[in-house]
Amino acid sequence: MSKSRVLKQNLDKNKKGTNKWTILWFVLPALLIYVVYTLYPIIATFNYSLLDWNGASGISEFVGIQNYINLFADSSFWQALENNMLLVVVSVFIQIPLGLVMALVLFSDVYGKRLLNVVFFLPYLMSTIAIGLLWVYLYSPESGPINKIATFLGLGDFEWLGNADLAMLAVLIVIIWQFSPFYMILFKAAIVGIPEELYEAAKIDGASSTQQFFFVTFPALIPTIVSSSVLAVVGSLKSFDIIYIMTGGGPGNATEILGTYMYKQGFVNLNMGYASTIAAVMFIIAFIAVVIIQLIDYLRKKKGVFL
Amino acid sequence: MKKSLLLVCSIVTLFLTTACGGGAITNEKVEKSSDNKDDEIILELWHTYTGGTKLDVINNAIERFEADNPGVKVKSTTTRNDNFKQQMTVAMTGGDPPDVFLNYGGDWLGEFVDGDKIIDLSEDGVDTERFLEMTLESSQFNGGQYGLPLGLTLHLTFYNKDIFEKLHLEAPETYSDLLNTIDVLKENEYIPYAFANQTSWPGSFYYMYLVDRIAGEDLFKEAIEGNESFENEAFVKAGEYIKELVEADAFNPGFNGFPPDSGHARQLIYTEQAVMLMMNTNFLDNAKEEFSEIVEKLDFFSFPALEEGKGDVNNLNGATSPVFSAYSGSDHPDLAAELIEYLTSKETAQEWVDLTNELSAIEGIRTDDPVFQKLSDYAEKADFIQMPYDQTLPPSLAQVHLDTLQEIFGLSMTPEEAAKQMEVEAEKIRSRK
Amino acid sequence: MKLINLPKKICLYILVIGILLFTGYPFVYMIMTSFKSMKGFFLDPFSLFSGSLTLENYSTVFDMGIGSYFTNSLIITVLSVLLVVFISALASYPLSRIKFKLNRPLFLLFIAGMMVPMHATLIPIFLLTQNMGLYDSLTALLGPYIAFSLPISIFILTQFMGELPKELEEAAQLDGANHWNIFWKILFPNLAPAISTIVIYNFLYLWTEFIFALTLITDTGSMTLPLGLQDFYGEFTVNVPGLMAALVLASLPVIAVFIIAQERVVKGLTGGSVKG
């Protein structure tokens, strides 16, 4: 038998005979845990979203899509959604590029890379409680360090978190600061995976370092950029902690996002049904966004753009 | 390939049915094996005291209860204030809340009462004689007594008397005195009021006092009952006064961004950059722990009289804290009620007063401490103590109150607009009932 | 990417120092705050160096018996992370390397798990845990912890595995190796960069996870570190320096995991065959 026939036979065997069982065995553990702890709550959430359900009294009544109708007429919801969209945009267009820059710096020939590697990562490893408390102090209008810098630069004093017009910006800076290192790690993992031969070939062709970046590094990073975008979109749609701790959605509802709004409706106002509706809508928006990103990625691969 | 699809689907459905079937919304209490060892009865108590004298008072009461009830153990769990409501809500909805839990009375408790989840202690023949009448009201619903209070905190203006003395100022008795005090302090480069309003309930203290001084104590009651509008001009007027204070720079900048617990406002008081702080009586305890040097410089006054107002200057703002209530689904309702009796007994109250120097909800409990004496004088003069709006109003309306008030303080909403939003939400709630 | 000329180098260092200050300052601020006394903190909350530094916060942290919280957190986090790595790698193999009809739907099903807001799942999971009789034990956390770490891990691993060259397993297939051997002996060793990423991500997430722990555990003996840290909060106050001391200690394991995981990436690559 020729080599290629054996290969083909084995591949065929793999494709037909054992496939469905092997696939199942590989996927089963994940599927079991997933179905019990994730899928069931998702379905329960959609189920609850159809109820007028008071979390305290436990009295619930089926109201169909009434919660959804109310939600779409709720101006606080739209305000929260708008803030969330801002968060998504900032995550994709500032956090990811910043993460990339940080990763590239770590691959350039600067001194003390090992130290930089750890220091760049520090924001991401600090717990959100610490971040919330410390940044509120850093933003302090009375002699806080950030205002000192702003005054030094001639920008003047700001009330940051206390000012409804600036609070969202202030929170966004913290979020960028906190999550960029995560994308840095993703990019680092991708950059080390780029075959050295590609750079060597480029060098032989006389490519400058800028050219190397645009013709070798960047194309190789596109899959990572795509998955980072998915993570950024999903992560910022359901984000909660940092805003809850830093501003609680205030002042007024200047920094309200869907996560904090859902929390308030559910655990403060005790409207469990309505809170579930917000959760369901968050889920649907994230799902649609991810499907769109995946679709664009699929088309890109098919057409061979970039790669 | 079809088979594999079928298989996956059937597994998924199998799990869904078992999982959903077992997890429907139910109030059945799941038996826990650990509860039954050695026939020992375990009562669960949830509260928010993580340390300090208040925790000691609670623990001592538990010890007395356990000593008198051999074979019964109290398992007490502490959760930080912020997270407590979330934990309680999940446990209540999931049908396994603690037997006894701390709360502050008010509508939050009322919501659970509506769902028949709280024991009516008056049915158990609990003796309510020992309590100050007005401290019982926050846990009374439909003629039942759904909780018993231990402490009574007042909302007062604490001030640095050394600075007042230096500037020849006295505790203001009228609102124009207050405005004058603010002016003098500003001229001398002090911040008049230290203020941290991220959660908006500290701002509510000002608002409640102003409404009370403008229109008297009945307006708010009437508005809750639907006989008065939340757009009543007194509510708007109170907002105007607040705007006036903000525009006069009575507060430190950025106050809407500071969480009350993280210490920005207190820091300004401790370092004597700011002179006054409107807070609950817990503040004295906090100051002792955080910056003891300041304590002897502190004194306090109630809210001054408003010249053109109808309200009684002796009226106060305050809160019953803590209140203890019991879950109606408890396996040992009698023991739960008894534990509450121990937690609010005269003996416990005496300890509370001795250790914290704050007022108790039980009549005739006194101590020699001068701070306590002064607090007690205020309370005795008061015919009425306004409980916090955000605890008295239905939760969603309380949220609108806090949000809109924060915007009034931030000058990003007019008092009229805020009043309108309150009335809209109130109307929604009325129409539901 | 060599930066040769001087102006470029200067730009690079300005950039590096900028990022360094931006990322490092708050951490240094946290450490310095942890050495301030309560009074010192209130006298000057913003400074990095106040007159008197003290170790009293650290002794407070040890006195309050943080050890048991620490151990609990370590057990549940390490166990969950190990299981997540293994289970998600298993699931990602067919999703990325075997073509079958359900590839896309299954993949989407899994990553849909990333989109669930955690607070929405609290009540169903509370009920589930009660019915399973796991409530109030450390084991109660295992299920939700694995389940909520799986989607992102499967997502990252599937994407990464999908990019590995096909030639890797072809030789093995030629020898008739079964899927298990291909997965375990050939692909798994090549996953180092991706596994490093998900280990860091999940370790951090679980190490600081608070919401599930709050909902499922009330017993002091089973409490994890984030629950234990609540002891630094009074009814209306936070012991900021004390809390920071605890958080500095809490961040040590994470830094260790990060450094080890990152080293492994470099090692795995010099010895591995990804470079192809």
Q: Side by side, which strands form the sheet with B323-326?
A: B72-78, B41-47, B100-103, B323-326, B148-149
The answer on pLDDT for C268 being more than 70 is no
Residue B93 near chain A (CB below 8 Å): yes
Q: What is the pLDDT of residue B4?
A: 44
Mean pLDDT value of segment C112-135: 90
How far apart CA B397 and CA A15 sit, in angstroms, is 62
Smallest Cβ distance to C120: which of A34, A213, A276? Answer: A276
d(CA C92, CA C87): 9
The reply to whether B153-318+387-432 shares the fold of B36-150+322-344 is: yes
CA distance A64 to A71: 13
Tokens matching residue C242: 């004390």
C105 pLDDT exceeds 70? yes
Q: List C-alpha distances in Å: B344 to A221, B64, B113, B139, C137.
A: 66, 12, 20, 14, 32
Name which of A230, A86, A118, A243 is nearest A184 in CA terms: A118
What is the rounded distance in angstroms from the CA atom of residue A72 to the CA atom of residue B39? 54
User: What ranges do the domains of chain B cover?
Assistant: 36-150+322-344, 153-318+387-432
Of A54, A140, A248, the CB nearest to B254: A140
Question: Quick one: pLDDT at residue B206?
Answer: 98
The band of B38, judged by pLDDT with boundaries at 50, 70 and 90, is low
| Backbone phi, psi, residue A286, to 5° | -60, -40
Which chain C positions have a beta carbon within 8 Å of B1's beta carbon?
100-101
Q: pLDDT band at residue B269, thresholds of 50, 70 and 90?
A: very high
Q: Is C55 on the interface with A (CB under 8 A)?
A: no
Question: Mean pLDDT throughout B207-214?
Answer: 97
Per-residue pLDDT of chain A (307 residues; tens, 9 = 90+): 444 555 455 555 444 445 677 888 899 999 999 999 999 999 999 999 999 988 877 788 899 999 999 999 999 999 999 999 999 999 999 999 999 999 999 988 888 888 999 999 999 999 998 999 999 999 998 778 999 999 888 888 899 999 999 999 999 999 999 999 999 999 998 888 788 888 888 888 888 888 888 888 999 899 899 989 999 999 999 899 999 999 999 898 999 999 999 999 998 898 999 999 999 999 999 999 988 988 888 888 776 544 3
Residue B5 has pLDDT above 50, yes or no: no
SS3 A127: coil
* Domains (range + CATH), chain A: 14-48 (no CATH), 71-303 (1.10.3720.10)
Closest residue to C238, CB basis, from B52, B90, B261: B261
Tokens describing residue A173: 């800076």
Do A133 and C258 count as a contact with CB atoms less than 8 A apart? no
Q: How many C-beta atoms surround the C-beta of residue B42 within 10 A?
A: 16
Would you call C196 an interface residue with chain B, using a CB distance cutoff of 8 Å? no
Tracing tokens 């920094």 back to the chain, one arrives at A255
Question: Residue B121 in contact with residue B131, Cβ under 8 Å?
Answer: no
Residue C97: pLDDT band by 50, 70, 90 thresholds?
confident
Find the mean pLDDT for residues B349-363. Answer: 94
A209 neighbors A297 (Cβ within 8 angstroms)? no
Query: Which residues 199-258 on chain A approach chain C with CB closer than 8 angstroms?
Result: 209, 212-213, 217, 223-224, 226-227, 230-231, 234-235, 237-238, 240, 258
> Binning pLDDT at 50, 70 and 90, where does residue B1 land?
very low
Q: Which residue of chain B has the CA closest to A22? A: B4
Q: Which domains does chain C have, with CATH numbers?
A: 55-271 (1.10.3720.10)
Would the CB atoms of A36 and C128 count as touching at under 8 Å?
yes
Q: What is the CA radius of gyration of chain A?
A: 25
pLDDT above 70 for B25: no
**φ and ψ at C111, to 5 degrees?**
-75, -15
**Mutation for C interface: A21, A109, A115, A122, most C CBs within 10 A:** A122
B153-318+387-432 has CATH 3.40.190.10 classification: yes
Instruction: Look at A281-290, B1-10, B93-102, B116-125 and tell me which has the smallest mean pLDDT.
Output: B1-10
Task: Answer whether A105 touches C (CB < 8 Å).
Answer: yes
Q: Encode pLDDT of B221-261 as tens digits.
A: 999 999 999 999 999 999 999 999 999 999 999 999 999 99
**Positions of E strands within chain A:** 51-53, 60-62
The minimal CB distance from B89 to the residues A44, A157, A267 is found for A267
Measured between beta carbons, the chain B residues lying within 8 angstroms of C218 are 44, 46, 75, 77, 98
| Nearest-Cα residue of chain A relative to residue B396 | A269
Mean pLDDT value across chain C:
88
- What pLDDT does residue C206 have? 95
A124: chain C residues, CB-CB within 8 Å? 204
Most confident of A107-116, B299-308, C6-15, C185-194: B299-308
Q: Residue A10 belongs to what H/E stretch?
A: helix A3-15
Distance CA A149, CA C93 (A): 51
Q: What is the CA radius of gyration of chain B?
A: 24
Token pair belonging to C266: 């470099």
* Residue to substitute from C119, C156, C166, C251, interface A, most A β-carbons within 10 A: C119
* DSSP symbols for B117-134: -B--TTTTT---TTB-HH
For residue B395, which residues of chain A lie inside 8 Å, CB to CB?
Answer: 268-270
pLDDT above 90: percentage of residues in chain B: 81
ipTM, two decimals, is: 0.89
Chain A residues within 8 A of C186 when measuring between CB atoms:
none
Check whether B287 has a pLDDT greater than 60: yes
CA–CA–CA angle B173, B177, B181 (5° rounding): 120
Share of chain C above pLDDT 90, in %: 56
Mutate to test the interface with B, among C128, C138, C235 (most CBs of B within 10 A): C235
Residue B327 carries which DSSP code?
Answer: B
Between C115, C154, C262, which is nearest A287 by CB?
C115
Residue B33 pLDDT level (bands cut at 50, 70, 90): very low
Answer yes or no: are the C-beta atoms of B191 and B274 closer than 8 Å: yes
Separation of CA C98 from chain center: 29
Given a cut of 50, whether residue B174 has pLDDT beyond it is: yes
Q: Judging by DSSP bridges, how do beta strands A60-62 and B274-280 pair with one another?
A: unpaired
Q: Which chains touch C (3 or more CB pairs under 8 A)?
A: A, B
pLDDT, tens digit, 9 for 90 and up, residues B82-106: 888 889 988 988 888 999 999 999 9
C198 falls in which pLDDT band (50, 70, 90)?
Answer: very high
Facing residue for B32 by CB, picked from C106, C123, C135: C135
Class of domain B36-150+322-344: alpha beta
Q: What angle separates helix A19-34 from helix C66-97, to the nearest 10 degrees?
A: 150
Q: Which residues contact A173 (CB under 8 A, 6 or more apart)?
A: none
Residue B15, pLDDT above cutoff 70: no
Q: Which residues of chain A does C276 touch, with a Cβ-Cβ cutoff of 8 Å?
A: 195
**Rounded (10°) angle between helices B415-432 and B233-247:** 140
